[in-house]
Structure 1
Amino acid sequence: MTVQPKRDSFVAAVYSLALSALILGPLFGSGYLLLRDAVSTPRSYLTDSALGLTDAAARAVPQDALIAALSTVVDGGLVVKALLFTALWLAGWGAARMVAVLLPSAGLGPQLVASTVMLWNPYVAERLLQGHWSLLAGYGALPWIVCAGIGVRRRIPGSWWALAAALAFAGLTPTGALLGLTTALVVVGSPGGQSPVLRRLSGVFALFLVVASPWLTATLLSDGAGAGSDPAGVAAFAARAEPGLGTLGSLAGLGGVWNSAAVPATRATLFAVVGTVLLLIVVLSGIPALWRRRRNPVIAALGLLALAAVLAPALGATPWGLDVGRWSVESFSGAGLLRDSQKWVALAAPFYALSAAAAVMWAQQRFPLPRPTWSIAAVVVTVLALPDLIWGVGGALKPVTYPQSWTTVSEQLRGESGDVAVLPAGMFRAFTYSGDAPVLDPAPRFLPLDVLQTGQLIVAGGAVGGEGTRAGQVEDLLLSGGGSAELAALGGGWVLVERDTPGQFDESSLRDLETVFADNDLALYRVPGDIAVHQASSISRAAVIIAHLAWVLMGIVALLSVGLHKNRIRLARRHQT
């Protein structure tokens, strides 16, 4: 009785593995991911900024600390590639498992269609191009959270452990943790089930607090606690209408990322309309079949969640919605986490995958053609809707090789003290070796000391201010040609000049500094004199590290417990036979 489901699950896992490899292919070469917000380096360090304990927002917590820990034993570039590949693989495989749980009569074909829709869509493509690889970890966990949540509702042994593991993986970023929490609450909190709803919801919140503890603790203890985000970021990062589509149409097609440069070529032309129509044909064809199953509270809840995930960002991009967004970030600390509104459309993806599978099931029953016909057709249509996702989103995802000078500078700074200021000014770079797209400065992740960053972002509509107050003071000082004594008073012990990139730069600011290293790519200068100490207290660091350990241990223990539980079931079945 269990041979067929096991075979289907294995095939779905292999299929998702192959599809993920087809998407990420170029990244398997030697080198490092360096594209817009994505930065990987050979080694990173457990600095205050990696722990989220500076005056900038803790947006890269806990991912930076995890990579810093893992890169002590494994090359950091391999860690990032492995996590990204795992995220996509889990997204596809999880969608197939979700269909098997919610639509038990679905065969292998509908499951593979769900995997394709979950993986091959504009959301995945645009987030890859924007460099949001860690956000895709949260995305990949969503269908597994659905499956585990259903198990919790049915009181299936081991389901709480499975939910804990999925939430832990989603928690690689704050946004991923919130995506996971929302999905878990919707599934677990739906009416019905074999245990009290309040007890189930309390359990979900308890797991979330452990998952979110690294960035919640860092936010409470950091120098920037209570600092708000720039209201200008609400409009700058609002969902965007793609060619031929309104904002609502773009979001309904799982597109609409704020950055018009971070889209596949086909989404920058009127083919975006064709691609959206093709994807929606596959998805919407399953709505009638799911409507007949509306008494299943989880299916109904996922449908409502998908509707909200599309409509809310669309409303957020209206003048009224932008006003509400600006008021929110001005009034509430941490509301800036919500400003990139298109990222929340990820919550619609599980229902899209489920509906696509239901469409194939309906077509198989209605039209007497060979059973695989409709599954193959749905897969082909989904791929044709976004043909340039293949092989690194049209080759845009490709590894880069850092000049040797980066390693030399990093080794020079080991064991030293003081923060590093960087010139030219700004957060983003345009190196000759990094391709055409701007890239986030790799210095904060490459160097063993804290690198001062303002957090200011230059976007099409102007500048969006960051939270890095002291970094802003240091940058202003360097651009005005200030002296070394003032720089030392602000905690700047070093100045790194990245020569292979354009930007604002005042040579006079280097006149009193000692040259430590220089070549065509980088120049490192030491600031003389007594350097003011600006670092988190040992108590704050210990508290945040403990929170990170709690998150990691929860994930590891949960995974081991799921494995042990499945092994016990396997042994019990053998004894019965």
Structure 2
Amino acid sequence: MIARSFAPARRVGPPAYALALTLAVTAPLLAPGYLLLRDAVSTPRSFLSDAALGLTEAAPRALPQDFAVALASSAVDGGVVVKALLILGLFLAGWGAARLAAVVVPDAGVAGQCVAVTVAIWNPYVAERLLQGHWSLLVGYGCLPWVAAAVLSLRGAVPEAPPNLHSTRGNPRFERVECKFGGLGALLFWTALAGLTPTGLMMAAVVALACASAPGRGRSRPFCMTAALLAAVGAALPWLVASVVAPGWAAQTTDQAAGIHAFAARAEPGLGTLGSLAGLGGIWNGDAVPASRTTLFALLSTVVLLAVVVVGVLVLLRRRAAVPLLAVAALAVVAPALMATGPGLAAVEAVIRTVPGLGVLRDGQKWVALAMPAYALAGAAAVVALRPRVPAIATAGVCCAALVATLPDLTWGVGGRVAPVHYPPGWSAAAAIIDSAPAPVAVLPVDSMRRFPWAGEAPVLDPLPRWVRAHVLSSGDLSIGGRTVLGEGSHARAVQRLLVGGADRARLADAGVGWVVAEGRHDALPLPVAYRDDDIALYSVGGDAPAAAHRPLMIAAHAVWLGQLVVGLTGMLVIRRRSGRAHRRDEDVDGPQHGDQ
């Protein structure tokens, strides 16, 4: 009875700890306001514009993310939606790491699961991607351990409780149904959620296929691999279809070589590129790094993390279910390091020149996220490795404290740098005028990234494209380290040259411009003023452009993704509810099961 009374605490403990760590990182985001930091842009409302559906010159990199935010913001403030998804992503990373540890290293117990939670949440990758504004990538990151656990469950790698003659757990037919449909539902859901961005989906597919090769007595390897591929294709339909019917990749004629070099992984102080990546750091943007990673303290942080991982790996190598994830982790560290070398950069450049759509490979460091599931398992296994000499709770306490202490500035929004901001009132006024007569919008300044005095010191993507119904012309050009990385917006670039060159209203209208927005303080333009204050000015031009084709097709592709998300979640919850009821009946009839003793 005592063991039975502790069972709920054991189930609730790891997710509660994951929530505590998540809030320690994201607490500033609980305040009112909007996340506006580098690539992270949230606005009060988004719409199903051509850009949100991937029907513009820009490559479809933010699908179905923009579609999902547009739908959600029709009912809830868009700032709340983005902040909630970011917080959810980190929480899922920690809770999922605990769940994966329970599947692969069940003898690690709650102590080991808490170490896994700490490894998954409290690491340089999370800090750097927060500072870069990659909130949707972190959602995909949070789904990886769940994808792994789902496929390992399908493969039958989950430890089995002893049969109970009085319960459905002893019924092989029920167990097969629970494993098959519960695992399939989980795989569909977590793959679709990871697929908020193409990168997240690609990482989830890699993890799923790797886990499908693990040994097990459940569904066959071909079945699991086929299920993983079908789930990935269903979730990828929005950007796969957009890549075919929209002009994004087809219009990409610019040289990507500068971008390849600019986005290569970066060595941190005291560490080479390989060491930085092994410590889950090394993002290309040196400005999107916590202060502690800019000194030799980064070396200490990496040594602590790798010490925990190495101790646990010695145990994991004897757990056959963990071997595929260990192989993925090794590849996720070594491959980006090779990509940052001269020959590696040349190889990546050749690949992208041949297939422009593979430009997603440029940012090599982001693929280090694939190491997280194995690192988290190793953290849990470290408790098992040291248990003969050190009590589990002591090992867990030391490991968790050391990991947190060696990355202290992850706390409170990475030292307060990830915090909500407030738009000046003029932005809402200008957006409302544009929405009353949607037409293509040209924006000054012409840079894709800009700085606003009310939004902090870091540059940020222009929020306007995600705020208005109309298509906002953006070239996508980026300035990195003094080099310009050209985007796909050739028409937008031509319009920008007209603006900078002082073109009159007639020429802008002929180019299909309906509005011109000047953000920040600028000299007045020789155009009719629709709205103006100290923060923003809106000018009426009167031009228009035909609506993009294929909108119904793109909406249908997004509906498939949304349907997979809903169907997967429903199936997963229904099977889990049935399983929970059966388990409670078992306890009522026969007392605590093996897992509660």
TM-score, length of structure 2 as denominator length: 0.91
Which residue in 1 is equivalent to 2:369? 346
Aligned equivalent of 2:230, options 206, 214, 219? 206
Which whole-Å CA distance do the structure 1 matches of 2:347 and 2:482 have between them?
A: 19
Cα pair 2:509 2:541 within 8 Å, conserved: yes
Deviation of 1:573 (Å): 4.1
Aligned equivalent of 2:562, options 540, 545, 552? 552
Moved more, 166-175 or 221-230: 221-230
CA 1:330–1:525 in 2, change beyond 3 Å: closer, same or farther? same
Deviation of 1:575 (Å): 5.0
Which residue in 2 is equivalent to 1:524? 538
Does the residue aligned with 2:457 lie in a helix, a strand or coil? Answer: coil
Give, as a single letter, the amino acid of the residue that structure 1 aligns with 2:189: A
Which whole-Å CA distance do the structure 1 matches of 2:328 and 2:203 have between them?
A: 11
Which residue in 1 is equivalent to 2:267? 241
CA-to-partner distance for each residue in 1:425-481, whole Å, 9 max, x for gaps?
A: 101111111111111111111222111000111101511000011111111111111
CA-to-partner distance for each residue in 1:153-199, whole Å, 9 max, x for gaps?
A: 12623101011111111011110010111100100133554333222
Deviation of 1:359 (Å): 1.0
Which whole-Å CA distance do the structure 1 matches of 2:585 and 2:374 have between them?
A: 39
Report how many residues are paired: 561
Which residue in 1 is equivalent to 2:245? 221
Give, as a single letter, the amino acid of the residue that structure 2 aligns with 1:241: A
Q: Does 1:359 align with 2:359?
A: no
CA-to-partner distance for each residue in 1:330-380, whole Å, 9 max, x for gaps?
A: 11131101111100000001111111111122112233xx44111100001
Which residue in 2 is equivalent to 1:67? 69
Which residue in 1 is equivalent to 2:95? 93
Aligned equivalent of 1:176, options 200, 204, 228? 200
Which residue in 2 is equivalent to 1:266? 292
Which whole-Å CA distance do the structure 1 matches of 2:26 and 2:582 have between them?
A: 40
Which residue in 2 is equivalent to 1:442? 463
CA 1:376–1:74 in 2, change beyond 3 Å: closer, same or farther? same
What pairs up with 1:103-502 in 2 under 5 angstroms?
Answer: 103-154=105-156, 156-157=179-180, 158-228=182-252, 230-293=256-319, 296=320, 298-367=321-390, 370-500=391-521
Deviation of 1:50 (Å): 1.0
Which whole-Å CA distance do the structure 1 matches of 2:394 and 2:582 have between them?
A: 39
Which whole-Å CA distance do the structure 2 matches of 1:354 and 1:573 have between them?
A: 26
Cα pair 1:44 1:446 within 8 Å, conserved: yes
CA 1:375–1:459 in 2, change beyond 3 Å: closer, same or farther? same
Which whole-Å CA distance do the structure 2 matches of 1:338 and 1:12 have between them?
A: 34
CA 1:140–1:424 in 2, change beyond 3 Å: closer, same or farther? same
Give, as a single letter, the amino acid of the residue that structure 2 aligns with 1:172: L
Which whole-Å CA distance do the structure 2 matches of 1:118 and 1:357 have between them?
A: 11
CA-to-partner distance for each residue in 1:291-344, whole Å, 9 max, x for gaps?
A: 233xx1x31111110000000000000000000111111111311011111000
Does the residue aligned with 1:495 lie in a helix, a strand or coil? Answer: strand
Which whole-Å CA distance do the structure 1 matches of 2:519 and 2:197 have between them?
A: 29
Q: Does 1:27 align with 2:51?
A: no
Deviation of 1:48 (Å): 0.5
> What 5-or-longer segments of structure 2 have no aligned partner?
157-175, 590-597
Which whole-Å CA distance do the structure 2 matches of 1:73 and 1:164 have between them?
A: 25
Give, as a single letter, the amino acid of the residue that structure 2 aligns with 1:309: A
Deviation of 1:415 (Å): 3.2
Which whole-Å CA distance do the structure 1 matches of 2:218 and 2:451 have between them?
A: 56
Does the residue aligned with 1:496 lie in a helix, a strand or coil? Answer: strand
Does the residue aligned with 2:397 lie in a helix, a strand or coil? Answer: helix
Cα pair 2:384 2:392 within 8 Å, conserved: no
Moved more, 118-127 or 405-414: 405-414
Which residue in 1 is equivalent to 2:166? none
Give, as a single letter, the amino acid of the residue that structure 1 aligns with 2:529: T
Which whole-Å CA distance do the structure 2 matches of 1:226 and 1:6 have between them?
A: 55
Give, as a single letter, the amino acid of the residue that structure 1 aligns with 2:570: L
CA 1:371–1:311 in 2, change beyond 3 Å: closer, same or farther? closer
Deviation of 1:535 (Å): 3.0
Cα pair 2:383 2:392 within 8 Å, conserved: no
CA 1:3–1:188 in 2, change beyond 3 Å: closer, same or farther? farther
> What 5-or-longer segments of structure 1 have no aligned partner?
none
Give, as a single letter, the amino acid of the residue that structure 2 aligns with 1:338: L
Which whole-Å CA distance do the structure 2 matches of 1:437 and 1:141 have between them?
A: 28
CA 1:575–1:285 in 2, change beyond 3 Å: closer, same or farther? closer
Which whole-Å CA distance do the structure 2 matches of 1:303 and 1:275 have between them?
A: 21
Which residue in 1 is equivalent to 2:553? 543
Aligned equivalent of 1:102, options 104, 111, 117? 104
Which whole-Å CA distance do the structure 1 matches of 2:214 and 2:250 have between them?
A: 34
Cα pair 2:270 2:299 within 8 Å, conserved: yes
Give, as a single letter, the amino acid of the residue that structure 2 aligns with 1:527: V
Cα pair 1:9 1:96 within 8 Å, conserved: no
Which whole-Å CA distance do the structure 1 matches of 2:585 and 2:292 have between them?
A: 56
RMSD of aligned alpha carbons:
1.6
Cα pair 1:498 1:523 within 8 Å, conserved: yes
Which whole-Å CA distance do the structure 1 matches of 2:100 and 2:282 have between them?
A: 26
Does the residue aligned with 2:515 lie in a helix, a strand or coil? Answer: strand
Which residue in 1 is equivalent to 2:165? none
Cα pair 1:240 1:257 within 8 Å, conserved: yes
Give, as a single letter, the amino acid of the residue that structure 2 aligns with 1:305: V
Deviation of 1:6 (Å): 4.7
CA-to-partner distance for each residue in 1:206-233, whole Å, 9 max, x for gaps?
A: 1111111111111211122434462221
Cα pair 1:56 1:224 within 8 Å, conserved: yes
Does the residue aligned with 1:497 lie in a helix, a strand or coil? Answer: strand
Does the residue aligned with 2:308 lie in a helix, a strand or coil? Answer: helix
Give, as a single letter, the amino acid of the residue that structure 2 aligns with 1:356: G
Q: Does 1:52 align with 2:54?
A: yes
Give, as a single letter, the amino acid of the residue that structure 2 aligns with 1:358: A
Cα pair 1:227 1:333 within 8 Å, conserved: no
CA-to-partner distance for each residue in 1:39-73, whole Å, 9 max, x for gaps?
A: 11111111101111101111111111111111111
Give, as a single letter, the amino acid of the residue that structure 2 aligns with 1:10: V
Cα pair 1:236 1:461 within 8 Å, conserved: no
Deviation of 1:485 (Å): 2.2
State percent identity of aligned pairs: 47
Which whole-Å CA distance do the structure 2 matches of 1:572 and 1:383 have between them?
A: 39
Give, as a single letter, the amino acid of the residue that structure 1 aligns with 2:225: L
TM-score, length of structure 1 as denominator length: 0.94
Does the residue aligned with 2:538 lie in a helix, a strand or coil? Answer: strand
Which residue in 2 is equivalent to 1:565? 575
